[in-house]
Amino acid sequence: MRSLPLLALVAAVLTVPAAAQPAVDRTAGLLRELADAPGPPGFEEGVRRIVVREVSPLADKVSYDGLGSVIAQQGTSGPKIMLDAHMDELGGVVRRVTDTGFLSMQMLGGWLDQALPDQRWVIIGRNGPVTAVTGIRDVHVVPADERTRVFPRDSLYLDIGARTRAEVAALGIEPGDPVVPDAPFSILAGGQRYLGKAWDDRVGIAVVIEAMRRLRSQGHPNQLFVAATVQEEVGLRGARTAADLIKPDIGIAIEGGITGDSPGRNPEETQAVLGGGPGIFLYDSSAIPNRKMVQLVAYTARSIGVPLQRDLVQGYGDDSAAIQATAGGVPTVNLVVPARYTHAHNGIIDRADFDRTVDLVVAMIRRLDAREVARLRDFTP
């Protein structure tokens, strides 16, 4: 066989037929849109627009708390079930502009310092998005004893290519503007694993939307309040204010979980694996779930054939902690879609885990009639 000229060979390699690309169904499209939307704590507007668009046709009423959380009510009688996921993601905010056109950044949420250098970011200024990068020192000039050092976040600056403070202003950027990771959604090899930013907790937002969609057609015996909350990453704030308005009888938080199946992990950190099904947190640093709720989740999962991963995680907080401390005390549980590499630019989820989590949530809510809720809330010895 005659060999192709070099340019022709390169062109053949780079030309991928459209049919070879993984298909994107409605659910994958929603996950893509949610993951790509900018929304650090206090700046959730872009995510809120998507949520309101999706839940409005499914709800009897849509309202908001005073911080901007979305509360979509479905059903007008029966126990009040609060199904929660938070809209915000890890990000930052422009803190200061230097005379030479660099920007310092106040981080929002629980970032690791080693995840920050040499990363692309998007600043949402008044004239639209602006691409930035956190710089990194050149290896050729870094002394040998500093090459393995983690440099603190306060030593990092955003570089947008500007040369002066005036050029930054001309781009519509000023202190207080939100900053988010630049990490576009992508479908990985095999078509069943999704790469993207903000799975904590856009995957939870997608779960509650899809669960609400299914429950609209299947029905349920309660008042369902789907709460898409704000500012979880900086103190569980929106869950508290939303729960103050809802006054739920039961609370279910949906989160992006943590996996321990990548190389080099301590098995005591977490036991969950990608593709192993939804998870339930038996403990985290902010909340201990209601024991009867844990038993109900396990029973429901078995009854519908969904594998359930049990986990205990230190250094983790979730909205169920804020919900359970309102209205005189609310039985709560935190369910998770496992995710690799959370609280960083790029995370991975498994589509089967997502679908099974929706199955579990729908089955749970359909079981939570007045009798079952009364049982869960009964602490009589």
Nearest 5°: phi and psi at 353? -60, -45
Same domain, 67 and 96: no
Helix (H) or strand (E) holding 223: strand 223-229
Question: What percentage of the chain exceeds 90 in pLDDT?
Answer: 81
3 is a domain residue: no
- Residue numbers belonging to the annotated binding site: 86, 200, 233, 255, 343
pLDDT one-digit tens code per residue, 75-84: 999 999 999 9
Q: Sign of the CA dihedral 285, 91, 50, 28?
A: negative
Please check whether residues 243 and 361 belong to one and the same domain: yes
Query: Which residue's structure tokens are 């799975």?
Result: 199
Active site residue 232: yes
Give the whole-angstrom CA distance, residue 228 versus residue 238.
Answer: 8
Residues 218 and 341 occupy one common structural domain: yes
Among 181, 210, 238, the domain-final residue is 181
Of 164, 203, 184, 169, whose CA–CA distance to 47 is shortest? 203
Q: Which tops the pLDDT comparison, 33 or 143?
A: 33
* Global confidence as pTM: 0.91
Burial (CB count <10 Å: 0-12, 13-18, 19+), residue 275: middle
Task: Look at residue 90 and give its three-state secondary structure.
Answer: coil
30-34, 121-125, 146-150, range with the lowest pLDDT: 146-150
Residues 74 and 97 in one domain: no
Q: Which residues have CB under 8 Å from 246's CB, separation 6+?
A: 71, 80, 82, 225, 227
One domain, residues 254 and 174: no
Helix (H) or strand (E) holding 239: helix 237-246
Give per-residue pLDDT as tens, 297-351. Answer: 999 999 999 999 999 988 788 999 999 999 999 999 999 999 999 999 999 999 9
Computed over every residue of the chain, the mean pLDDT equals 92
Provide the pairing of β-strand 309-313 with 279-284.
Answer: parallel
At 80, which CATH number?
A: 3.40.630.10
**Is the Cβ–Cβ distance between 158 and 103 less than 8 Å?**
yes
In a domain, 153, yes or no: yes
Of 254, 281, 270, the closest CA to residue 337 belongs to 254
Q: Residue 22: pLDDT band by 50, 70, 90 thresholds?
A: low
Helix (H) or strand (E) segment spanning residue 55: helix 45-55
On whether both 275 and 137 belong to a single domain, the answer is no
With beta carbons less than 8 A apart as the criterion, state whether 316 and 233 touch.
Answer: no
Domain assignment of residue 7, yes or no: no
For residue 191, tell me if it sits in a domain.
Answer: no
φ, ψ of residue 58 to 5 degrees: the values are -100, -10
| Cα Dmax for the chain | 85
Q: Is residue 230 part of a domain?
A: yes
Residue-number span of the structural domain to which 96 is assigned: 92-181
Residues 61 and 101 in one domain: no
Alpha helices in 108-235 (DSSP H): 165-170, 199-218
* Average pLDDT estimate for 180-198: 97
Q: Which residues carry a binding-site annotation for Zn(2+)?
A: 86, 200, 233, 255, 343
* Domain contains 337: yes
Mean local confidence (pLDDT), 101-117: 94
* Number of other CB atoms surrounding residue 319 within 10 Å: 32
| Section 250-279 average pLDDT | 90
Alpha carbon distance 381, 360 (integer Å) = 30
Compute the chain's Rg from CA coordinates. 23
Torsion angles phi and psi, residue 240, rounded to 5: -70, -45
| pLDDT bracket for residue 8 (50, 70, 90) | very low
Residue 142 sits in the same domain as residue 276: no
Q: Please give the Cα distance from 110 to 126 (Å, whole number).
A: 26
Residue 179 · residue 93 · CB < 8 Å: yes
Residues 128 and 270 in one domain: no
Both 159 and 206 in a single domain? no
Q: 20 falls in which pLDDT band (50, 70, 90)?
A: low
Tell me whether residue 29 is in a domain. Answer: yes
Please check whether residue 107 is in contact with residue 95, taking contact to mean a CB–CB distance below 8 angstroms. no
Q: How many domains does the chain have?
A: 2
Please identify, among 181, 215, 246, the residue that sits at the C-terminal boundary of a domain: 181
Residues 81 and 96 in one domain: no
Reported as a pLDDT band with limits 50, 70 and 90, residue 1 is: very low
Domain annotation covers residue 49: yes
Q: Are 335 and 297 in contact (CB under 8 A)?
A: yes
Query: Is the pLDDT confidence value at 262 over 90?
Result: no
d(CA 101, CA 90): 24
Domain boundary among 181, 212, 240: 181
Residues 64 and 106 in one domain: no
359 pLDDT above the threshold of 70: yes
Over 90: is that where the pLDDT of 6 sits? no
The pLDDT, as a whole number, for residue 149 is 79
pLDDT score recorded for residue 151: 79
Give me the mean pLDDT over the 203-208 stretch.
98
Residue in 44, 232, 269, 372 annotated catalytic: 232
The CATH code of the domain that includes 130 is 2.40.30.40
